[in-house]
Structures are given as C-alpha cells and as structure tokens.
Homo-oligomer: A and B are copies of this chain.
Amino acid sequence: MKNEQRREETRGAILDAAALCFAEKGYAETGVAEICDRAGVSKGAFYYHFESKQKVFLALLESWLADLQEMLAHFAGGTVNVPESLLKMSHLMQGAFQADQSKTGLFLELWAQASRDETVRKASIATYQRYQKIFTGLIKRGIREGSLAPVDPVSAAQVLLSLASGLFLQSLIDPRRDWGKVTADSMQILLDGLIRR
C-alpha cells in the first residue's frame, strides 16, 4: 500500500503544479519542464503518469467542472425561497472564484480550447447544458412557489448563466474591483427588471 500513496502524491503534485502554471501563463506558454520543476518531479515521472500535456489539461478541467457543478447543485437545492437563493449564490460564487486563483485562470483556457478542439468543445457544451438544467429547475421552482414571475425558465436560466460568465470574464482582467458587490447589484437589477411600471 506504499506504492499507491506514492503514486497519488506525485500525480497530485503534477496536477497542482500544472493548474498553477496554466492559470498564470496559459496552456501554450507553459512548458512541461516548468510543470515538473514546480512539482518537484522529473520529466520521466511526468510522462510515466500522463501520456501527454493535453491529457493533464483535460484531467484538470474535468475535476474543475465537476467541482463547479457540485457547488451549483448544492446551492440550487437549498430550501430558502428562490430570489434569496440566487442572491446568496452570486455572493458565494464570487467568493469561491476569488479564493482559488489557480482554477479561475483555467476558465479562459477552457474556452480557448473548447472553441477550437472538437473533443473539448463537446465536453464543454454538455457541461454547460447541465448547469443550464440546474438553473432552469431552480427557476421553475421559483415560479411554482410564486416568488418569480412566470417567465420562460429556459431563457431565464440562460440569462443567469450568461451574466455569471460575463461577470467572471471581466473579473479576470480587472481583479481590483469589488466583484462581490458588482455581482450582487447585477443580480438585484436582474430580479427587479429595468422597465418602469
């Protein structure tokens, strides 16, 4: 049982180091040697555990998307009323993003690769649709319980996802702003609507 532990340790070190590098410098600009240095491992170990640089990226991505989905599902399943649940989610998402810098930078790399690579794209679309389903369910619940207006749940979920993506995108290039507040304000405006009545 000593080998298994050793194996997991080095694999973990490589994945962690790769996540940091990819987030900081991007996929293409990150060399395998750099990852190995950071992980305190040799290239031999790297290619013993992973068959290519791409595979490391994909492994990283998979776990990240799974984490995100779990987080979303957790908050969407809460029992408080839906508008408040949405406001809470916006707060907590921001916190989660800001907390783990190494993961956020991967977001861009995901999109860049997804928009070109067929495999990555299909996986990304599938994941995105799962997120959309989660939001759609949440909104349906809100309509059912009467806290939300009878909008089209799919479109509304689309808006939520887009808003989140857009805010997140901007937070990447302008980290100094208080995105927690911006996100909360945005969500409030979305809930209230723009048109005067």
A73 contacts B by Cβ under 8 Å: no
- Is A174 positioned at the interface, with any CB of B under 8 Å from its CB? yes
Copies in the complex: 2
Indicate whether A109 sits within 8 Å of B112 (C-beta atoms), given known contacts A194-B156, A196-B147.
Answer: yes
Q: A115-B172, A195-B148 are in contact. Are A155 and B24 (CB under 8 A)?
A: no
On whether A193 and B193 interact (CB within 8 A), knowing A116-B26, A169-B166, A186-B162, the answer reads yes
Q: Which residues of B contact A150 (CB under 8 A)?
A: 196
Which positions 138-182 of chain A face chain B at CB distance < 8 Å? 139, 142, 146-152, 155-156, 158-159, 161-167, 169-170, 172-174, 182
Is A49 at the interface (CB under 8 A from chain B)? no
Closest to A24 in B: B116
Q: Which 8 A-B pairs have the closest CB atoms?
A: A193-B193, A162-B166, A28-B28, A166-B166, A165-B166, A155-B185, A149-B196, A115-B172
Could you tell me which A residues sit within 8 Å of B by CB distance? Answer: 24-26, 28-29, 83, 105, 108-109, 111-112, 114-116, 121, 124-125, 128, 139, 142, 146-152, 155-156, 158-159, 161-167, 169-170, 172-174, 182, 185-186, 188-197
Complex A-B: 30 CB contacts under 8 Å? A26-B28, A26-B112, A26-B116, A108-B108, A109-B112, A111-B172, A112-B112, A125-B173, A125-B174, A147-B195, A147-B196, A149-B192, A149-B193, A151-B189, A151-B192, A158-B185, A161-B166, A161-B170, A162-B169, A162-B170, A163-B163, A163-B166, A164-B166, A165-B166, A165-B170, A166-B169, A169-B169, A191-B193, A192-B193, A193-B195
